[in-house]
Structure 1
Amino acid sequence: MNAPVTIRAGFEPVSIDDKSRTVDLVASTGAGVERRDMDGPFVEVLEVSEQAIDLSRLDGMPLLDSHRQDGLENVLGAVRAVRFEAGKLIVKVQISPRHDAFWQDIKAGIIRNVSVGYLPKDWRDGKDAAGARIRTVTAWELREVSLVPVGADPAARTRGQDMPPELETPEAPPAETRVNTPPAETRAAVNQEIRALGTTFDLGSDWANGLIDRGASENEARAAALEAMRERQSGAPTARTSIIAQHDDPAAIATRMGEAIYATRVNPAHELSEPARAYAGMTVLDMARDCLRRGGISTTGLNRAETITRALTTTSDFPVIFGDTGNRALRAAYQAAPAPLKMLARQTTHSDFRAKTKVQAADLAKLEKVNEHGEYKHSGFIEAKETYAIGTYGTIVGLSRQALVNDDLGAFTDLAGKLGVAAAEFEVQFLVDLLVKAAGLGPTMDDGKAVFHADHGNLAAAGGAIAVDTLSAARLAMRRQTGLNGRPISVTPKYLLIPPELETTAETILASIQPNKTEDVNPFGGKLTPLVEARLVDAARWYIAADPATIEGLEYAYLQGSEGPQTDSRAGFDIDGVEVKVRLDFGASFLDWRGWYMNPGE
């Protein structure tokens, strides 16, 4: 998220000032755009306000031709002012006299689209009513403005859409004052321009071929395009606004480079995506040079160390490369780490960090006979609630400039993988700590009693080893559980949670055998799934749990849109290199005791 992206917008023809050669470009950012990151697709929405947008680069900001930064001939003018109006960012630009052809096309309404590059700095993740991820960019920096040929959102309009300005054909200049349009050097160049106009405005190949056959000039082709558009639209041409991720988007390129490093240096089994294959053979130095070149910075005369340093300090996408690599290594290790206790818990998300109250409700209703002319009786509800919040946990790891110069990323990716394992272990230990709290009885519930309590019917009256009779007592206790209304809910046990010391005993008891005698029948063969949790330090205590999909019990939560560990990267401040921050927003609690049973063992 910290490399420049672009939005497409349109400008308003009534804002043209022929004397000063200025025009207003209206960037409407109310609509979202679908993007993708390591966690999948999401919709990005920009916040447009004076507080959200950093305009520190406004002084001297150029107006470019289609984002081209490789020559002064691509500078069409300059940005002169910015204002905010009705949720839109409006940019006033001045066109250079050197580019009169562009100015004439703007006045004629042929060029009507602009692309604004921006650098996201802060954002807020969430989900819509359908559960789709939404990322609202709450702070972003305006980086550059370009005129472009095509907009992509046909539903968007300029500010003047309710009263479209009348489109007038520009008056032809006197014979002695010809428009300063750079002539094409060859007929082929003119033909190419005519075909480009036909493609841009969707006028078809027959339209272009007809002009080429009669030897039309570029100016005649533009006038013909204007006339064709007027006939097709029967009114003023409509500017279009869209938000797009271009193929040369620095954020996308950095992600591809990060994936290439991950596949070639960390996990050779990873199958590279097609866009990332082009970067598989690049060294860190090659990537630094590429980032600088795309930022318009020459690397001529720079040695290896100077190139790396310049990329770290002057480009925003170079650190993103290693953030992506670290994130891939971290998440691969995180997902591979064993976490048996999480199988017994239900996953959810919280929209913020405030304590959330989960309410259980049970009706007291029962169907009663209604006599002729009799009245129906009202039923009520009884509730129970549990409250918990999520917290933020994390650390920062560094990749030194020396390691980048030496093209040595092994220690960094190893550490990222270890942090992925550490994140998974942190989550499981969090759940274990809940389970064994208060000398193994668990946390206190809303009724003032521990999770495992005699009054809850889920605590063995006396400790006993895993055996058919103790398992039978546990199953009976769960079957006899009642809901808030006192009615049986018949909980079905599914898992046997044990410490390593009881693993062999559990496997022996739960093994399916072929008995020769009736008394040798194992009633629990294939009925319970044993789960071994090495973090359970009590060698005798064991648990029975129901499927968390069938009844609430243990629950863990992430911040909405940030499931699992998240990473952010930047050029280092505390170290000379790249810093990658690992963050985990996580919390857990017992919501109900009815799906669990504990025997302290012997």
Structure 2
Amino acid sequence: MNAPADIVTRRAPLAATSWNPEARTLEVVFSTGSDVSRMDVRGGFVERLSLEQDWSAFIGAPVLNSHRRGDLTDVLGSVQKAWTVGGNREARAIIRLSRRADVDPIIQDILDGHLRGVSVGYVIHDWKETTEAGQRVKTATRWSPVELSIVPIPADRQATIRGETMPAPTVPADPAGANPPAAAAPTITAPADRAAVNAEIRSIATVAQLDQGWVNSQVDASATVETARAAAFEAMRTRSAGAAQVRTTTINFGVDHTDPALRATAIGEALYARANPAHAPSEPARAYLGLSMPEIARDCLRTRGIATGGLSSAAVIERALSTSDFPLILGDTVGRTLRDGYRTATAAVRQLGRETTNRDFRAKHRLQLSEAPTLEKVLEGGEFKYGGLAEAKESYKIDTFGRIISITRQSLVNDDLGAFSDLARRMGRAAAAFEAQFLVNLLTGNAGAGPTLSDGFGLFHANHGNTGTVALSTDSLTAARVAMRRQKGLVAEPIAVTPKSLLVPPELETLAETLVAAITPAKVDDVNVFTSKLSVVVESRLADTGRWYLVADPAEVDGLEYAYLEGEPGPQIDTQAGFDVDGVKVKVRLDFGAGFVDWRGWYASKAAS
């Protein structure tokens, strides 16, 4: 059929001109490409739709009841034809409505003039950005309508689901003046709650099994819930078209970077990358690279729907500090920098222990079991005998340690990343140094005897067979190794402990390296038996310059054990907008504890004075 005449020239109501009762078709205007004000990370811009499109993909798209798609009854019909008129200034469509009985009341409301609004759901594929009179203009050069809805009122101008009221038809003059032209349906505009909309978009993506890229595109376009649903519907339809008939239900787990906490992580990483150019930022973080601290604060406020026009950088920072997002972002940046400092300052003695976790702050009881019982001969017709395992236990607990540092408002306004990055890195090193000193104090306590174990003796005691009174030398190393090899288990079974590390203070470092160095011997007697057998570990916190230790591999023999609270290894960060402090308070917390759970993997010696 030929394209209908311009809708504004129709002289009768929809029922008289546009409605075809036999075919159950109706003509609608679904877009004029008019400008819409929107907001993104860079600020405000004008969105414009180009109507120079290929509408063939729109044919067959569903006509919905107010964008609802909860069940099949929400589908009122389908799009039969789409085209533009007036030099691509107006987009129109012919829709066919269902013959279901529940659709008839809606048709009647259209004929009676009660329903005049239509709304189109679309997805934008390509943008072209220009500037007009100092205003950013983003023109959607390629976009796809995915559904058309009959609505009580068109969608507001702030929504991506763009609705336009169908113009009131022109009615012939009535001699009696009794039939005035019908008034056009009003357009209602209401501000959008972006936080709630973004949350709903994430829910839609989860249900539709769409990835993070899809979510980001909807959020960046300031999409409304209706637009996102329409786009998701189209994505599902496209996916279904190429899918096999036999399917397996799959649950896809992804990362949602529009969630406030994860969005804070992305921005925090971007700030961290500014302070650490060697860091390669992730894809979500790249969107925020180059933004200053005040610009990030302004973006946090916009995301919350808070106007920032006319506000100075200081005022923006002050308001952003009252939200939950901005302190989270700063906390993420501080946390990354703190962990850098923490990792680079790892203590030497720490590598000689085994890391574990504790669920709570109660004492951790470490159970030890003996070796399996020896097999015994079973006589013909004889009975197998039960063998038992001896057991013992040692205990220790974790405690909480921490400090509070502050990031001043002045450094935030000045965009001084170096100031608090340096402070955070120092705090990370301080946390690592605290752990190291904690372990050294545990090892060297009780005048070098170490902690008292459950048997009432110190870690290093003659009853444990793990202490000597000679200086470091080849002979003393030999004696120490023999002592460890001769260690026995809980039921006096040989366990043949193999030493792996030689722990010394800095004063014995050169001697230790000489003793384990690889050399080319001139004769058999000169062969260094400790080459490739021991590794030297130097701990500068060991105050006793003459005491040295031989240590077994902690993965093979129990000994030193340190623990963090489950799920919180290393120092943790909490942030809070300050009241007594003008800025952000950052609490550094460490839940940490350590203890020796067995003496058999450690040996200590010092020359008698």
Task: State the TM bucket, normalised to the shorter chain.
Answer: 0.5 to 0.7
- The one-letter amino acid of 2:314's match is A
- Displacement of 1:389 after TM fit? 1.1
Matched-pair contact (CA < 8 Å) for 1:108–1:168: no
Structure-2 residue corresponding to 1:591: 597
- Displacement of 1:442 after TM fit? 0.7
Which structure has more RCO (C-alpha within 8 Å, separation ≥ 6)?
1
Question: In the alignment, is residue 365 of structure 1 matched against residue 382 of structure 2?
Answer: no
Structure-2 residue corresponding to 1:429: 437
Structure-2 residue corresponding to 1:256: 266
Structure-2 residue corresponding to 1:473: 479
Q: Under a length normalisation based on structure 2, what TM-score does the superposition of the two structures give?
A: 0.62
Distance 1:311 1:389 in 2: 40
Distance 1:345 1:104, change over 3 A: closer
Measured against aligned partners, the alpha-carbon deviations of 1:226-262 in whole angstroms (never above 9, x if no partner) come to xxx9xxxxxxxxxxx9998644333333222211111
- Aligned identity (percent) is 51
- The one-letter amino acid of 1:386's match is E
Gaps of 5+ in 2: 1-38, 45-63, 76-99, 125-142, 151-203, 209-229, 238-250
Map 1:536-551; keep pairs closer than 5 Å.
Answer: 536-551=542-557
Distance 1:324 1:346 in 2: 28
Aligned to 1:353, the other structure's residue is in SS state coil
> Which of 117, 122, 135 is residue 182 of structure 1 equivalent to?
117
Aligned to 1:281, the other structure's residue is in SS state coil
Distance 1:452 1:168 in 2: 90
Distance 1:255 1:368, change over 3 A: closer
Question: In the alignment, is residue 575 of structure 1 matched against residue 597 of structure 2?
Answer: no
Distance 2:585 2:341 in 1: 20
Map 1:111-190; keep pairs closer than 5 Å.
Answer: 169=102, 172-173=105-106, 174=108, 177=112, 180=115, 182-183=117-118
> Which of 435, 448, 451 is residue 440 of structure 1 equivalent to?
448
Distance 1:505 1:288, change over 3 A: same
Measured against aligned partners, the alpha-carbon deviations of 1:424-472 in whole angstroms (never above 9, x if no partner) come to 1111111111100110011111111111111111011xx2221111000
Matched-pair contact (CA < 8 Å) for 1:108–1:170: no
- Displacement of 1:366 after TM fit? 2.1
Measured against aligned partners, the alpha-carbon deviations of 1:120-151 in whole angstroms (never above 9, x if no partner) come to xxxxxxxxxxxxxxxxxxxxxxxxxxxxxxxx
Distance 1:312 1:489, change over 3 A: same
- Displacement of 1:180 after TM fit? 2.9
Matched-pair contact (CA < 8 Å) for 1:108–1:169: no
Aligned to 1:272, the other structure's residue is in SS state coil
Distance 1:110 1:578, change over 3 A: farther
Gaps of 5+ in 1: 1-66, 72-99, 112-166, 203-221, 230-240
Measured against aligned partners, the alpha-carbon deviations of 1:381-419 in whole angstroms (never above 9, x if no partner) come to 211101111111111111111111121232211110011
Distance 2:307 2:557 in 1: 63
Matched-pair contact (CA < 8 Å) for 1:101–1:182: no
Map 1:359-508; keep pairs closer than 5 Å.
Answer: 359-362=367-370, 365-460=373-468, 463-508=469-514
- The one-letter amino acid of 2:446's match is A
- The one-letter amino acid of 1:326's match is V
Distance 1:312 1:382, change over 3 A: same
Distance 1:300 1:464, change over 3 A: same
Q: Under a length normalisation based on structure 1, what TM-score does the superposition of the two structures give?
A: 0.63
Structure-2 residue corresponding to 1:18: none
Distance 2:346 2:475 in 1: 31
RMSD: 3.6
- Displacement of 1:106 after TM fit? 6.7
Structure-2 residue corresponding to 1:286: 295
Aligned to 1:483, the other structure's residue is in SS state coil
Matched-pair contact (CA < 8 Å) for 1:542–1:601: no
Question: In the alignment, is residue 520 of structure 1 matched against residue 526 of structure 2?
Answer: yes
Distance 1:319 1:110, change over 3 A: farther
Larger-Rg structure: 2
Measured against aligned partners, the alpha-carbon deviations of 1:287-340 in whole angstroms (never above 9, x if no partner) come to 111111111111111112111111112x21111111111011100111111411
- Displacement of 1:575 after TM fit? 1.0
> Which of 307, 310, 314 is residue 301 of structure 1 equivalent to?
310
- The one-letter amino acid of 1:444's match is T
Matched-pair contact (CA < 8 Å) for 1:255–1:321: yes
Aligned to 1:194, the other structure's residue is in SS state strand
Distance 1:188 1:455 in 2: 78
Distance 1:362 1:571, change over 3 A: same
Matched-pair contact (CA < 8 Å) for 1:285–1:308: yes
Aligned to 2:390, the other structure's residue is in SS state strand
